[in-house]
Structure 1
Amino acid sequence: MALHFSSACFSNFGRSTVPAVRAAASDQGGVAVKTAEEEKVKLGGSELKVTKLGIGAWSWGDTSYWNNFDWDDRKLKAAKNAFDTSIDCGLTFFDTAEVYGSRMSLGAISSETLLGRFIKERKERNPDVDVAVATKYAALPWRLGRKSVISALKDSLCRLELSSVDLYQLHWPGIWGNEGYIDGLADAVEQGLVKAVGVSNYSEKRLRDAYDQLKKRGIPLASNQVNYSLIYRLPEENGVKSACDELGITLIAYSPLAQGALTGKYTPNNTPSGPRGSIYTPKFMTKLQPLINRIKDIGEGYGKSPTQVVLNWLIAQENVVPIPGARNAEQAKEFAGAVGWKLSNEEVEELRSMASEIKPVIGFPVEKL
């Protein structure tokens, strides 16, 4: 398919912080009032601060994996409500990518375009709202050299209607040209187009190489975004999590709910629709039920849903920022309830132990590159 790349349009939005008030359970069991700003964390060694939990926008505009291969006005309205509710609940970190919903991925409308539109409309009502935007560069085989990174970034900024983004990431390792891509990330920082840079789906070795290359330019590698959930703990097993901790790189966890399998919504008789159905089969969901039941039991003790327990488990791993995908307001509101409290160490380890008895599903092939 033909791809057209331009870098002609920019629009400026001012950024300032309005601390939203949130409640968080204290160690004594009481309630301590904190602001969203106080609950923010730095991404790696960068100066960029984001909320402890972000929102993934993969499903917005997508028709190749999500939305049952269809996109309409009802789903558009639901995505807009998910964005606004996230902001209202103090979740202001949004992750998208140039391939989400785009023509190159056979989507209906670019997720970047939708996110940019949502931000613009929100700022018209509330000019002081502070939104942290992360997007990604697609390391396509025909893209060569550092200039391709800047060109793609400017296209993303055009779709987002922003003059800069907070975090720019390499979506996956390139088949070749990775050193040029890393230099392109550094160039983007030096040109003031991004505040921080990261990678995604990087193995331990590639992660260390990227870290060292950026360090020579005096720029920290802020993050590595990988598939990570209670039932997909490959980052713990392949050295990625320990390398992130050692080097001071934040692990951003995508698919933290195992694409809905850990929410308690699905059963052996009610499996996910679309491509997810071939991954989370009735057989797999049967094996998963004891863990789901225990997650529900633990959640009841805190007045929390299974979704909130599973997300809190990831936050408890420290140096991890989960980014569940919100397709509607109800999901966004539920995600917000995953922060401000903490599972006990015993519960964290019990869930890991139970999950270790379940053979994990297959991840994405890019993790092997």
Structure 2
Amino acid sequence: MEYQASSTRYATMKYNRCGKSGLKLPAISLGLWHNFGGVDVFENSRAIARRAFDLGITHFDLANNYGPPPGSAEENFGKMMKLDFKPYRDEMIISTKAGHYMWEGPYGEWGSRKHILASLDQSLKRMGLEYVDIFYSHRPDPETPLEETMDALATAVKQGKALYVGISKYKPAEAKKAFKILRDLGTPCLIHQPSYSMFNRSIEEEGLLDLLEDEGVGSIVFSPLAQGLLTDRYLKEIPADSRAAKPSIFLKESDITPEKLSKIRQLNELAKERGQSLAQMALAWVLRKGRVTSALIGASKVSQIEDNAAALNNLEFSEEELNKIDQILNS
């Protein structure tokens, strides 16, 4: 049956201006880092993407190496574009990235002009697209001059293969240099993608959020639910189908200490008092004060998308609630 997007898809989603640009992003964006690869059930991935779009989530975030296997998330998204989303391309923000290991040999990763532009061409081919809306340098390269990497991003825009450029996982000092280089090239940086959650507040401590505000650059944060820790999945035990129960380089069973579990349970009680799930409160927390443009979520089932999007029903925190969260986290 042919997909037709919901006629009410823009009714409840909140859209935030990305830095000082003309672009607005949904407060909740969908990341295809997990659950959209060749090892996953395509029809489930497709159902998640369709439901996300029906809820006003217009931004789909990919990278060359997402899978597994690497490249397969882009291939699957390309199928979804062809089957479902082609009529809606101009309503969508699609991003991809280059920089992590993707193919063999000296040009298969990092930040050389060769890797960045070859990777983008491969990504566009896999997704069946003429351009992406946002193209990122996925990580800083300690051995390639920053000017070369940023010039490659600017070239992608000049070639018409990307509309905007961004950076991910750059520390404040590197980010500040990158912003200046891109400005001088006439292709200002649209957005920075760092990790941020209640359990990982380094972007506050290092001053990255302050820098982004000063520079007029937007932010989209990944892992706002701390790889699933800030959900109700781990309140009692580690479910057999959870990320922590599987072989993973990201979240291990050993990460879920009794001390962390105690904090998660206390946060869950506070979320209940707010009339939210723990995941909803965690998303509302990263979006508080309007300092973050968008929170990037992953999902393995449609119900998770629905629960996460409903976080927008209550984004306000009292000073007392924020203090209580700090007390729990610092205890």
TM beyond 0.5: yes
Alpha-carbon offset, residue 340 of structure 1: 4.4
Go from structure 1 to structure 2 and tell me whether the alpha carbon gap of 1:305 and 1:235 turns closer, same or farther (over 3 Å shift): same
In the alignment, what sits opposite 2:97? 136
Conserved? CA contact 1:268–1:282, under 8 Å: no
In the alignment, what sits opposite 1:312? 284
Go from structure 1 to structure 2 and tell me whether the alpha carbon gap of 1:236 and 1:348 turns closer, same or farther (over 3 Å shift): farther
Residue 273 of structure 1 pairs with residue 262 of structure 2: no
Go from structure 1 to structure 2 and tell me whether the alpha carbon gap of 1:295 and 1:58 turns closer, same or farther (over 3 Å shift): farther
Alpha-carbon offset, residue 142 of structure 1: 2.8
Alpha-carbon offset, residue 259 of structure 1: 0.9
Conserved? CA contact 2:268–2:277, under 8 Å: no
In the alignment, what sits opposite 1:197? 165
Residue 229 of structure 1 pairs with residue 229 of structure 2: no
Structure (1/2) with the larger helix percentage: 2
Distance 1:331 1:173 in 2: 32
Alpha-carbon offset, residue 55 of structure 1: 0.7
Go from structure 1 to structure 2 and tell me whether the alpha carbon gap of 1:116 and 1:42 turns closer, same or farther (over 3 Å shift): farther
Conserved? CA contact 1:60–1:100, under 8 Å: no
In the alignment, what sits opposite 1:295? 270
In the alignment, what sits opposite 1:155? 122
In the alignment, what sits opposite 1:145? 112
Distance 2:253 2:274 in 1: 28
Go from structure 1 to structure 2 and tell me whether the alpha carbon gap of 1:99 and 1:295 turns closer, same or farther (over 3 Å shift): farther
Residue 123 of structure 1 pairs with residue 79 of structure 2: no
* Partner-residue secondary structure (3-state), 2:106: coil
* Partner-residue secondary structure (3-state), 2:252: helix
1:248-263 matched pairs, under 5 angstroms: 248-263=216-231
Conserved? CA contact 1:168–1:198, under 8 Å: yes
Match of 2:23 among 41, 48, 66: 48
Alpha-carbon offset, residue 355 of structure 1: 4.6
Structure 1 unaligned regions, length at least 5? 1-17, 24-35, 64-70, 359-369
Q: TM-score under structure 2 normalisation? A: 0.85
Conserved? CA contact 2:29–2:58, under 8 Å: yes
Distance 1:235 1:149 in 2: 26
Q: Cα deviations across residues 12-67 of structure 1 (Å, max 9, x unaligned)? A: xxxxxx883424xxxxxxxxxxxx5xx3223223333221110111003458xxxx
Q: Aligned residue pairs: how many?
A: 310
Go from structure 1 to structure 2 and tell me whether the alpha carbon gap of 1:355 and 1:112 turns closer, same or farther (over 3 Å shift): farther
Residue 207 of structure 1 pairs with residue 179 of structure 2: no
Alpha-carbon offset, residue 289 of structure 1: 3.5
Q: Cα deviations across residues 291-334 of structure 1 (Å, max 9, x unaligned)? A: 3333333332xxx3221111111111423111010222111111
Alpha-carbon offset, residue 198 of structure 1: 0.5
Distance 1:182 1:279 in 2: 38
Conserved? CA contact 2:229–2:264, under 8 Å: no
Alpha-carbon offset, residue 284 of structure 1: 4.2
* Partner-residue secondary structure (3-state), 1:316: helix
* Partner-residue secondary structure (3-state), 2:193: strand
Go from structure 1 to structure 2 and tell me whether the alpha carbon gap of 1:76 and 1:209 turns closer, same or farther (over 3 Å shift): same
Percentage of pairs with the same residue: 25
In the alignment, what sits opposite 1:322? 295
Conserved? CA contact 1:214–1:220, under 8 Å: yes
AA in 2 matched with 1:123: F
Match of 1:20 among 9, 24, 29: 9
Conserved? CA contact 2:19–2:213, under 8 Å: no
Alpha-carbon offset, residue 127 of structure 1: 4.8
In the alignment, what sits opposite 2:56? 90
